[in-house]
Amino acid sequence: MQLQLSAALTALLSLASASLISDVSKDTFQKLRKDHEAVLAAFTSKSLESLQPFNENFESAAQDVKTPLITIDCAKDADLCQEHDVKAYPAIRLFKRNETKRYRGRRTSSANHSIKSYVARQELPLATHVQPTGLAEFRKIDSINF
């Protein structure tokens, strides 16, 4: 119990200084979902060398976003991965309120921008009033807007 509390506290403190929390346990995962409107989770495996580039890109994508990005090591927490229907690595899921959305974008070396763009879209309100003078700036948010 003491160890779980310590791990949860460490995870929450690291959230204050960075947007990536690595190797999240089931308890910490549930706490983060409860405390934040949205959480982007990468179900991965630290033991597979072939996933190291993805893990590094995901860590890099965590910078400059408000939504916490977390990694769950399926080699350590297989039950949590099975609970979320993870069939292959990396599986990325956005948990927003009571919804779960699968990320269908890139997972390669160019994933950094794609993941950041995806998270940025999720952080925006459903509709945004844009003044004509702000239209050019609004279009720079990403390539998917009208």
- Give the pLDDT of residue 84: 96
- Give the pLDDT of residue 143: 63
- Give the pLDDT of residue 96: 93
Instruction: Give burial (CB, 10 Å; 0-12/13-18/19+) of 92.
Output: buried
Low-confidence ranges of the chain (pLDDT < 70): 1-18, 109, 141-146
- Give the pLDDT of residue 14: 43
Instruction: Give burial (CB, 10 Å; 0-12/13-18/19+) of 77.
Output: middle
- Give the pLDDT of residue 16: 45
Q: How far apart are CA 89 and CA 91, in angstroms?
A: 5
Q: Give per-residue pLDDT as tens, 60-79.
A: 888 878 899 999 999 999 99
pTM (two decimals): 0.75
- Give the pLDDT of residue 44: 95
Assess contact for 38 and 65: CB atoms under 8 A: no
Domain residue limits, the chain: 2-139
Tell the CATH superfamily of the 2-139 domain.
Glutaredoxin (3.40.30.10)
